[in-house]
């Protein structure tokens, strides 16, 4: 059973029938998808930024779009910016470019400061907009959010963020970018940004801002049955029509947590499952026939092991298949291997592992997965659904 930090042992929901991952074995012991194609969107350098994360993949009018967060020193460091690229086939990508510049000069990631993060893609009418989340990291806190201090240490590794309004700009079909505008009532202060931002009531952007805001899912994450810190949710509709959410446990039970809702608005408490997790962010996609694909680092070989209060290696990046959304019956290794560093790990904080933090979509019988490789390079893998037995 899962052991919470407070010693409470909640019941575990059975969802995993794929077998136990095997540490140190290629593909964690699961079949490797030999039919998968892999292509690189971004090759990191010290000059352009060797920390790359938070991939976001999208399809608009037959064209693929990708964005990700980028920094010189590490995750969510002051001055983090957003890069992007596009492709007509999902395999051959245009050279990357800057989508949102650094809001302030880049500084080490263990310092507080202003941060932009890749926020996803939205369509209003037939026009495509790219979003960035704007936050000020004010300091660092412990797991249950009861202690706070200006700089991180082992007991206070979690960033405390003070949100600002999201930023948006149009991406045109020729690859040019529109002006940056603000989506909410708390715009960044002028001193917090190195580029101009139009307010939300600017008549040039007010209608687009309203159209984008209307698409934000109005969801509140469920609380866990125990005291563990849950985050990084992925939502999907099961075959029976109910809504399911899977959540990462940041307290290293190495399990995904799960809650089921009838309407997607009210969520009962989340229970631990027997789905293994590195832990890392997972993504899901539901097919028209009710099949659900889970993409993530479902490769943790042991649960509830307090002797390992840390990540497993995030290798491989996996695809798991459920015919109903409640039982995952087979799993495959999509991308195997650890990152071979271009910039030494000692120079950039918080990197490690292989393929991780996926963003997914399905088109014309293929699964497309965008991800960071070791949080250094950005890659996309494509595999036919037939290779997954679909």
pLDDT of amino acid 190: 58
Lowest model confidence (mean pLDDT) among 113-117, 162-166, 223-227: 162-166
Region 344-372 average pLDDT: 95
Give the 3-state secondary structure of residue 192.
helix
Max avg pLDDT among 97-101, 144-148, 224-228: 97-101
| Pairwise CA distance, residues 28 & 37, whole Å | 20
Query: Which pLDDT score is estimated for 2?
Result: 57
Q: What is the pLDDT of residue 30?
A: 98
DSSP H or E stretch at residue 213 = helix 206-213
The CB-side HSE value for 238 (13 A sphere, CA atoms) comes to 20
Task: Give residue 191's pLDDT.
Answer: 60
Answer yes or no: is pLDDT of 192 > 90.
no
Counts of helices then strands in the chain (DSSP H, E) = 1, 21
pLDDT digits (tens, 9 = 90+) for 301-319: 999 987 777 889 899 999 9
Give pLDDT, residue 74. Answer: 93
Instruction: Say whether pLDDT at 20 is over 60.
Output: yes
Provide the percentage of residues in the chain whose pLDDT is more than 90: 74
Say whether the peptide bond before residue 380 is cis (omega within 30 degrees of 0): no
- Of residues 361 and 135, more confidence is placed in 361
Alpha-carbon distances of 81 from 130, 198, 199, 233, 354, rounded to whole Å: 13, 18, 20, 23, 22
- What pLDDT, on a 0 to 100 scale, did the predictor assign at position 3? 55
Q: Is the pLDDT of residue 344 over 90?
A: yes
**Lowest model confidence (mean pLDDT) among 4-8, 38-42, 46-50, 257-261:** 4-8
Mean pLDDT of the chain: 92
The mean per-residue pLDDT over the stretch 125-132 comes to 96
Q: Which of 281, 284, 248, 288 is nearest to 360 (CA)?
A: 284
**pTM for the full predicted model:** 0.93
Percent of the chain predicted with pLDDT > 70: 96
Asked if the model's pLDDT at residue 4 lies above 70, the reply is: no
The enclosing H or E element of 206 equals helix 206-213
Asked if 256 and 248 touch (Cβ cutoff 8 Å), the reply is: yes
The distance from CA 277 to its chain's CA centroid, rounded to whole angstroms, is 14
User: With 0-12 CB in 10 A as exposed, 13-18 as middle and 19+ as buried, what is 47?
Assistant: exposed
Confidence (pLDDT) at 7? 63
Q: Residue 347's pLDDT is what?
A: 92
The pLDDT, as a whole number, for residue 267 is 95
pLDDT of residue 148: 84
Domain boundaries, the chain: 1-30+219-390, 51-216
Q: How does residue 253 score in pLDDT terms, banded at 50, 70 and 90?
A: very high
Q: What would the CATH number be for the domain defined by 1-30+219-390?
A: 2.120.10.10
| pLDDT tens profile 130-188 | 999 998 888 888 877 888 888 888 888 888 887 778 999 999 999 999 999 999 876 66
Task: Establish whether the linkage from the previous residue to 279 is cis, with ω within 30° of 0.
Answer: yes
Largest Cα–Cα separation, the chain: 58
Q: pLDDT class for 293, splitting at 50, 70, 90?
A: very high
> 269 or 139: whose pLDDT is higher?
269
Q: What is the pLDDT of residue 1?
A: 52
Sign of the alpha-carbon torsion through 369, 136, 235, 326: positive
- pLDDT bracket for residue 268 (50, 70, 90): very high
């Amino acid at each position: 059973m899962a052991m919470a930090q407070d010693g409470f042992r909640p019941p575990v929901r059975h969802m995993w029938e794929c077998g136990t991952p095997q540490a140190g074995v290629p593909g964690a012991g699961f079949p490797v998808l030999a039919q998968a194609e892999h292509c690189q969107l971004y090759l990191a350098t010290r000059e352009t930024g060797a920390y790359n994360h938070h991939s976001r993949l999208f399809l608009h009018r037959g064209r693929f779009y990708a964005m990700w967060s980028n920094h010189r020193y590490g995750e969510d460091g002051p001055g983090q910016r957003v890069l992007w690229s596009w492709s007509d086939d999902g395999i051959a990508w245009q050279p990357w470019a800057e989508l949102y510049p650094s809001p302030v000069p880049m500084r080490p990631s263990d310092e507080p400061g202003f941060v932009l993060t890749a926020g996803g893609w939205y369509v209003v009418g037939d026009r495509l907009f790219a979003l960035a989340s704007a936050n000020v990291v004010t300091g660092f806190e412990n797991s249950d959010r009861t202690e706070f201090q200006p700089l991180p240490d082992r007991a206070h590794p979690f960033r405390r963020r003070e949100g600002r309004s999201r930023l948006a700009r149009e991406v045109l079909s020729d690859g040019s970018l529109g002006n940056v505008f603000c989506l909410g009532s708390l715009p960044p202060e002028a001193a917090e940004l190195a580029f101009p931002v139009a307010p939300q009531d600017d008549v040039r952007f007010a209608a687009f801002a309203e159209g984008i805001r209307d698409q934000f899912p109005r969801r509140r994450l469920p609380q866990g049955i125990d005291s563990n810190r849950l985050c990084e949710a992925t939502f999907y509709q099961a075959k029976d029509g109910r809504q399911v959410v899977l959540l990462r446990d940041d307290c290293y039970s190495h399990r995904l947590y799960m809650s089921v809702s009838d309407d997607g608005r009210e969520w009962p408490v989340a229970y631990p499952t027997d789905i293994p997790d590195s832990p890392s962010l997972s993504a899901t996609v539901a097919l028209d026939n009710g099949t659900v694909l889970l993409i993530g680092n479902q490769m943790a070989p042991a649960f509830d092991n307090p002797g390992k209060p840390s990540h497993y290696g995030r290798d491989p990046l996996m695809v798991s298949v459920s015919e109903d959304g409640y039982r995952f019956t087979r799993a495959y290794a999509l991308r195997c291997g650890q990152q071979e560093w271009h910039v030494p790990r000692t120079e950039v904080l918080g990197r490690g592992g292989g393929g991780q933090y996926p963003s997914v979509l399905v088109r014309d019988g293929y699964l497309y997965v965008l991800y960071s490789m070791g949080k250094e390079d950005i890659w996309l893998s494509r595999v036919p659904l037939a290779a997954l037995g679909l």
